[in-house]
Chains A and B, each alone.
Chain A
Amino acid sequence: MRTVSGYSESATTRAQSPGAPGLLCARELTVCYASRGEPSSPALLGIDFDIAPGEIVGVLGESGSGKSTLALSILGLLPESADIAGSLVFEGKDLLRFDESAWRGIRGARIAMVFQEPGLSLSPVMRVGSQIAEVLRAHRQEGSNHRKLQVEAVLAEVGLTQVDRIYKAYSHQLSGGELQRVALSQALACRPDLIVADEPTRSLDGTRQKEMLDLLRETNRKFGCALIFITHNPGLLAGFADRVIVMYAGRIVEEGPVSRVFRRPLHPYTKGLLQLMPTSLQYAGRTRGQHLPVLPGTLTDDDHLSPGCSFASRCSARTQVCQTEFPAEVAPEKGRRVSCFNYEN
């Protein structure tokens, strides 16, 4: 296990991460972004989690909570300025010890990513088909004809009907929904064991979001690939994910099966998030000028560095101890964990 000086964990008594051990296990995963002459700011602070083969795990958190950093570190795509420590074990091998060529064998083939904004993650000057073929080309030695057939097959799998048109199209010629499916087909091309989807539905409207979720669920069932679904919208996870990990300021504050966490959230942050989900009833009862309820305060850099609970400054249930000490993880029931001194209130 590697450590980064300064952040090698204060919370020593932690509950064992629930969920079956298996595909991917992160222990004390810490990521800091260094900038010249300034103290490095941590983006992930000693994260522990496990992903079992074939399960869907939702990662929930607001901007700045470290979700995207988590996604990038699973694929070893963090920028050079990032300093990573801890361990990230994929099928028994620590990914953080991998060199570039070992990473290349994993990326796209065993772990694949569906990037945010598919319009930007596709090259504007290459045909969509050849960009999907690129993935196959990087990992398998096959003839180009065979590769083309595979690309067409995978395009059909993600529910695209006009395969020929899309194969030849450039990214700007496709609609948002089509682009998102193309992005998924890129990730699926080599049949990975784990797909990391970073807000894949962000640029889509409600109907398309629903379609995309159904498609992801279907792929998950059909190919048995595990899915890490990163989002800031708890509404998407209900009825979709098996488990949810709630992140705040670079830490996991709560984790558990989606149904149970959503029915009875324990951490005040989770409670806040769930209460604030706008429903149509809330919209209907409101007149112009009235605002929807928001969680007071914002997530700042100071919250990352505070010795106490990072949510304390915004928490309505905070006590004296919250300011000075980070709450250790506790497992209130089987399969759940939470980091809060006052979760029972």
Chain B
Amino acid sequence: MRNKPRIVAALILLLSLHAAILLAKFVTPYDPAVQNRDFPFAPPTRIHFVDSRGHVHLRPFVYQWKARPDTFNEYDEARDKSYPVRFFIQGPEHKLAGLLRSHVHLFGVEDPAQIFLAGTDAYGRDQFSRILYGGQVSLAAGLLATVISLFLGLVVGCISGFYGRWIDDSAMRLVELFLVLPWLYFLLAVRSFLPLHISPTQTFFLLVTVIGTIGWARPARLVRGIVLSAKSRNYVIASRGFGASDYYMLRRHVLPHTYGILLTQAALLVPQYVVAEVTLSFLGLGLSEPAPSWGNLLANLQQYNVLVSYWWMFAPALALVIVSLGYLQMANAVQELQSGSI
């Protein structure tokens, strides 16, 4: 493959990000909702290898942040005592995968010091933990909406392409309608019909359903094209000639042709839907505080002073960029594999 190193790099980055997000409870040092009122907008903790006396340590260590007296949200390192970074450290209890009770976290420092890899927010909550937990919501929404879109697209596309005639015509007009629909405003409209306060779970499924059901049109059109060409292949006609039913022909001889395009579409839709979720949460239509999602983490930037003063508040956007570029790279790779230019 032409861009093999690039694709491998993207794959590794994507996989490790997904693993970290999936195992957020273990990877993050703190609970995403725990507030440290003494440390609002603390910058990312610096990791040191060389102490104040010039000694080099193999084990990295941190200093505790100390608020500068008589200032607002400005911090200095308290250099009198260093706290080594420890791996597989005991911390607050969590249940891994909902089953395994554990106190072990991937990394952390001993009290009273704290480690904020991506700084803290206005309530002193650890931004790094919030990004990983928020990723669970954002990615799950993206993946689930993709599954819904592709499933609807596959069903409509198959029926439309296979049966043709008026079914095809009407299905394709419907597709066109959905393609021109401005989904953001449609979402706003749908949201405005619902009660102001709905539970986070309900909000999540509402988001996913709406995003997913709007996006089926493009995959449906692509699948239809594939089915149209596949159904006129000799072996499909032959299978009909030996008494195969429509369902059997579709499943056995036509459907395998659509796998490639579905995979490419999936890789394209996931980042698109993650961004959609982020957009909605950013506008306040997504999950509400204190539950983190990338969208409502970024919503902090709506305040001007945050936007200009605290650069680490942009960190969730970095995660978003990695996910988007990673998936697009995957889509490229799949498409290349499919067209045989390996």
Which of A's residues lie within 8 Å of B, judged by CB? Answer: 75, 77, 79-80, 100, 104-109, 112-113, 115-117, 120-126, 131, 134-135, 138-139, 186-187
Asked whether any CB of chain A lies closer than 8 Å to the CB of B260, the reply is no
Which residues from chain B contact A187 at a C-beta distance below 8 Å?
Answer: 242
- Per a CB cutoff under 8 Å, which of A120, A126, A138 touches B242? A138
| Bound Cα distance from A192 to B256, whole angstroms | 30
The contact sample of 17 A-B pairs, CB cut-off 8 A, is A77-B241, A79-B232, A80-B165, A100-B246, A104-B245, A106-B243, A108-B242, A108-B243, A113-B241, A113-B242, A120-B233, A126-B252, A134-B239, A134-B244, A138-B242, A139-B243, A187-B242
CA distance A139 to B237 in the complex (A): 17
Q: How far is the CB of A230 from chain B (nearest CB, A)?
A: 14
The reply on B284 being an interface residue by CB < 8 A is no
Q: Which residue of A lies closest to B248 (CB)?
A: A138
| Among B243, B244, B246, B256, residue most surrounded by chain A Cβ atoms (within 10 Å) | B243
List the B residue with the shortest CB-CB distance to A139: B243
Contact flag A115-B238 (CB < 8 Å), given A80-B164, A120-B233, A138-B248: yes
A31–B239 CA distance with the chains assembled, in angstroms: 23
Task: Decide: A108 near B233, CB < 8 A? Known: A123-B253, A125-B256, A138-B248.
Answer: no
A107 near B235 (CB under 8 angstroms)?
no
A106 proximity list for chain B (CB < 8 A): 243
The CA-CA distance from A108 to B237 in the complex, in Å, is: 12
Smallest CB-CB separation from A101: which chain B residue?
B245
Which residues does chain B contribute within 8 Å of A186, judged by CB atoms? 238, 242
**Is B240 on the interface with A (CB-CB < 8 A)?**
yes
Alpha-carbon gap, A108 to B243, bound state (A):
5
* Bound complex: CA A218 to CA B233 (Å): 31
CB distance from A229 to the nearest CB of B (A): 17
- Measured between beta carbons, the chain B residues less than 8 angstroms from A107 are 240-243
Would you give the shortest CB distance from B154 to chain A, in whole angstroms?
Answer: 18
Of A75, A77, A112, A122, which one neighbours B235 at CB under 8 angstroms? A122
Q: A80-B164, A80-B165 are in contact. Are A123 and B244 (CB under 8 A)?
A: no
Size of chain B's interface in residues, with CB distance under 8 A? Answer: 20
Binding site for A on B (CB under 8 A): 164-165, 232-235, 237-246, 248, 252-253, 256
Q: Across the interface, which residues of B come within 8 angstroms of A116, CB to CB?
A: 234
Q: How far is the CA of A134 from the CA of B241 in the complex (A)?
A: 12
Given A75-B241, A104-B244, A113-B238; 18 other pairs, CB 8 A cutoff = A104-B243, A104-B245, A106-B243, A107-B243, A108-B241, A115-B241, A120-B234, A122-B238, A123-B239, A124-B235, A125-B256, A126-B252, A135-B242, A135-B243, A138-B243, A139-B243, A186-B238, A186-B242
Among A77, A109, A124, A134, which residue has its beta carbon within 8 angstroms of that of B237? A77
**B252 surroundings in chain A (CB, below 8 A):** 123, 126, 134
Which residue of chain B has the shortest Cβ distance to A187 in the bound complex? B242
* Chain B residue nearest in CB terms to A103: B243
Which 6 A/B pairs are nearest by Cβ-Cβ distance?
A: A108-B242, A108-B243, A121-B238, A120-B234, A138-B243, A107-B243
Residue from A77, A112, A125 within 8 A of B240 (CB atoms): A77
Contacts of B245 in A (CB 8 A): 104, 138
Max chain B Cβ within 10 angstroms of own Cβ: one of A79, A107, A117, A123:
A123
Q: Which has the most chain A C-beta neighbours within 10 Å: B165, B241, B253? A: B241
| B residues in contact with A122, CB < 8 Å | 235, 238
B210 CB to closest chain A CB (Å) equals 37
Shortest distance between the CB of A170 and any CB in chain B (Å): 12
Q: Give Cα A124 to B235, complex, Å.
A: 9
Kindly list chain B residues whose C-beta atoms are within 8 Å of the C-beta of A100. 246
Closest chain B CB from A304 CB (angstroms): 24
Residue of A nearest to B239 (CB): A134
**Is A123 in contact with B235, judged by CB distance below 8 angstroms?**
yes
**Contact among A113, A120, A124, A138 with B244 in the assembled complex (CB-CB below 8 Å):** A138
Which residues in B have their C-beta under 8 angstroms from that of A115?
234, 237-238, 241
CA–CA, A186 to B241, complex, Å?
A: 11
Which residues does chain A contribute within 8 Å of B235, judged by CB atoms?
120-124
Q: How far is the CB of A193 from chain B (nearest CB, A)?
A: 14
Contacts of B248 in A (CB 8 A): 138
Distance between Cα atoms of A121 and B237 in the complex (Å)? 8
| Min distance, Cβ B99 to any Cβ of chain A, angstroms | 39
Closest residue of chain B to A105 (Cβ to Cβ) is B243
B residues less than 8 Å from A134 (CB atoms): 239, 242, 244, 252
Residues in A whose Cβ lies below 8 Å from that of B237: 77, 115, 121
- Report whether B164 and A121 are in contact in the complex, using a CB–CB cutoff of 8 Å: no
CA distance A82 to B253 in the complex (A): 23
Beta-carbon nearest neighbor of B242 in chain A: A108
Kindly report which residue of chain A lies nearest to residue B237, judged by CB atoms.
A77
- Name the B residues within 8 Å of A139 (CB-CB): 243
**How far apart sit A26 and B33, CA to CA, in the bound complex (Å)?**
81
Smallest Cβ distance from A268 to chain B, in angstroms?
35
A183 to B239, CA, bound (A): 11
CB distance from A99 to the nearest CB of B (A): 12
A266 CA to B33 CA, complexed, in Å: 97
Give, as a whole number of angstroms, the nearest-CB distance from A34 to chain B.
Answer: 13
Residue of B nearest to A125 (CB): B256
**Are B243 and A121 in touch, CB under 8 angstroms?**
no
* Residue of chain A at shortest CB distance from B245: A104
Closest to B236 in A: A123
Residue of A nearest to B246 (CB): A100
The distance in angstroms between the C-alpha atoms of A113 and B256, with both chains bound, is 25
Q: Is the CB of A112 within 8 A of B242?
A: yes
Contacts of A77 in B (CB 8 A): 237, 240-241
Output the least CB separation between B249 and chain A (Å). Answer: 10
Chain A residues contacting B234 (CB-CB under 8 Å) are: 115-117, 120-121
CB neighbours (8 Å) of A104 from chain B are 243-245
